[in-house]
Amino acid sequence: MRLTCPLCGPRDRREFTYLGAEDYLHRPAPDAPRDAPPDALSEAWDSYLHLRDNPAGPTRDLWYHEQGCAAWLLVSRNTITHEITGVELVANRKGGAA
């Protein structure tokens, strides 16, 4: 498996560290309610931290080019075939970093 880093070009999978699903880009707003009674996280925070669509097929997730340019990447790929269909810099997205 190879990922084409927008800065470094096609690189071996071993250079990258996987964080998790794209959900990590959708951090609740600072003023979003944190708690929900009784004694639980609000749905927004629970969803951001724990709950996942976990698709079998196309997915988007966050990878870190740890042994390369140290950029955070948003990777579009297929969880059944392991095909990589797109890699973009998280920093270039509207709204900025993870």
| Rg (alpha carbons) of the chain, rounded to whole number | 15
**Contact region for other proteins (CB under 8 A) — 25-33, 41-49, 64-72, 89-97?**
41-49
By CB under 8 A, is residue 41 in contact with other proteins? yes
Q: How far apart are CA 7 and CA 68, in angstroms?
A: 9
By CB under 8 A, is residue 40 in contact with other proteins? yes
Reference 70, options 1, 2, 11; nearest CA is 11
Sign of the CA dihedral with 56 first, then 19, 89, and 24 last: positive
By CB under 8 A, is residue 12 in contact with other proteins? yes
Please select the residue that binds other proteins; options are 79, 86, 88, 91, rule is CB under 8 A: 79
Instruction: Write out the residues near other proteins by the rule CB under 8 A.
Output: 1, 12-14, 17-21, 36, 39-41, 46-47, 49-56, 59, 61, 63, 79-82
